[in-house]
Structure 1
Amino acid sequence: MINKNTISAFVLCGGKSSRMGTEKGFVNYKGNSFIEWSIKAIEPFTSNIKLVTGNKDYEQFPYPLLKDDIEEKGPAGAIFTALKTNTSDWNLFLSCDMPGILPWIIEYLITNADPQASVSFLNEAGRDYPLAGLYHQKCLPVFSEAIKKGNLRLMKILEKVDFKRVEMPASQKRFLNNVNTKEELEHLINTQHEDSL
């Protein structure tokens, strides 16, 4: 099991949010913004939390902002920036477009992660969630090379490292829904069970 004391956490606050039509992290779901769901999910496990964004509106939260070292590189660029600037062995990455995610899911990921693998991330019914994952610092050279070559597809990058899929029961899929559009948010609101922070 991975030692929680060796973990730093990064919330990826999203890019242009063009499909949502507004800054995704501030969209409300059940009384809390997307970013608040992400923060509350990881706070029990580390105090070393950073928000990966260049948007100063996120300064309202008590965590440092980390601007992408190289802009317009998507999640791969955000992970590269975090690994480059951090010194922790393990780095927890969580995107802010998974409203409803709860601390027990992060606990499940940490408990079932493979400490010998470079990356462990959640998977549910064959669907990968690489932005709900633990990345070891040794991944930095792989991400650096990918950024240089413009190979930005995250799962393609992860094919170059040893990784573990942490399987989630299909019954828990509702906690892992990615929400990128207003229509997806409306569907989530209409179908989700009542969960709270």
Structure 2
Amino acid sequence: MTPAAGPLEASAVVLGGGRGRRMGGNKLFLAVDGVLLLERVLRRLVPLFPEIVLAVGPEDEEPLRRRLPSLSSARPVAVAVDAVSGLGPLQGLTSALKALRGDWAFVVGCDMPWIQEAVVRSLWQAREAGSDVLCASVDGYLEPLHAFYRRTCLPFAEAALASGDRRLKAFYGDVRVTVVAEAAFRCLPGYRRSFQGINTPSELNRLTDLP
């Protein structure tokens, strides 16, 4: 069955890319041919979600806000700023969940420009009444940075942070995780690319096949 069209009843959350040591700079501000990597990510998300939230560290808030007016996004973009810098993606998730207008967030990194609409919609369709997380399994591994999180995850994510565990999956044992098997995506051409990020300068320079 083909997933239904139209915006999903969820927000999109894009997590800032940290210091990007291998990339030579913060991934939030990396560009190819004058186009920010972040803008390429937003182009994929805007048709799918009524709200876009960027979760960034305190040091990146002002540089990002200066660039927001130039981003060609058809949706308003909100900025959620981490209370503490340098605590990784779990801190970004907690900041974003606090800022949401609704109950669900699709969370990705700012270095994931190949997000596939059909993959996202298939993941969303797998939610159940008690789901707190919708997470795909690819090659036998969970993909926490291309997943849906419900606001109900917030206290458990905060508790994991307080304990010193900064992994996105740190609180999975405390909530109901609906795992979507890879078989659900195999009929979708190029589904693996949806989960891929940009990790090296050479990968960044090969972004010639994107619209």
State the TM-score, normalizing by the size of structure 2: 0.77
Question: Counterpart of 1:65 in 2: which secondary structure?
Answer: strand
Report the number of matched residues: 191
- Residue 176 of structure 1 corresponds to 195
Distance 1:30 1:117, change over 3 A: farther
1:156 maps to a residue whose letter is A
Please, which runs of 5 or more residues in structure 2 have no aligned partner?
69-75
1:58 aligns with 2:82: no
- Residue 113 of structure 1 corresponds to 127
Displacement after TM superposition at 1:97 (Å): 1.7
Distance 1:101 1:144, change over 3 A: same
Displacement after TM superposition at 1:137 (Å): 0.8
Distance 1:103 1:15, change over 3 A: same
Q: What's the CA shift string for 1:127-163, capped at 9, x where partnerless?
A: 3221111111111110111111111122232232211
Taking the TM superposition and a 5 Å limit, the aligned residue runs for 1:2-151 are 6-28=9-31, 32-53=35-56, 54=58, 55=60, 56-59=62-65, 60-61=67-68, 62-151=76-165
RMSD after superposition: 2.7
Question: CA–CA distance in 1 between the matches of 2:97 and 2:196?
Answer: 26
Question: CA–CA distance in 1 between the matches of 2:190 and 2:116?
Answer: 15
Distance 1:29 1:106, change over 3 A: farther
Instruction: State the percentage of identical aligned residues.
Output: 27
Please identify, of 33-42 and 74-83, the stretch whose mean Cα deviation from structure 2 is larger.
Answer: 33-42
Question: CA–CA distance in 1 between the matches of 2:202 and 2:8?
Answer: 39
Question: CA–CA distance in 2 between the matches of 1:31 and 1:173?
Answer: 27
Please, which runs of 5 or more residues in structure 1 have no aligned partner?
none
Question: CA–CA distance in 1 between the matches of 2:126 and 2:44?
Answer: 17
Distance 1:125 1:24, change over 3 A: same
Please identify, of 27-36 and 160-169, the stretch whose mean Cα deviation from structure 2 is larger.
Answer: 27-36
Displacement after TM superposition at 1:171 (Å): 5.2
Displacement after TM superposition at 1:18 (Å): 1.5
Question: CA–CA distance in 2 between the matches of 1:107 and 1:82?
Answer: 21
Question: CA–CA distance in 2 between the matches of 1:176 and 1:30?
Answer: 23
Distance 1:14 1:121, change over 3 A: same
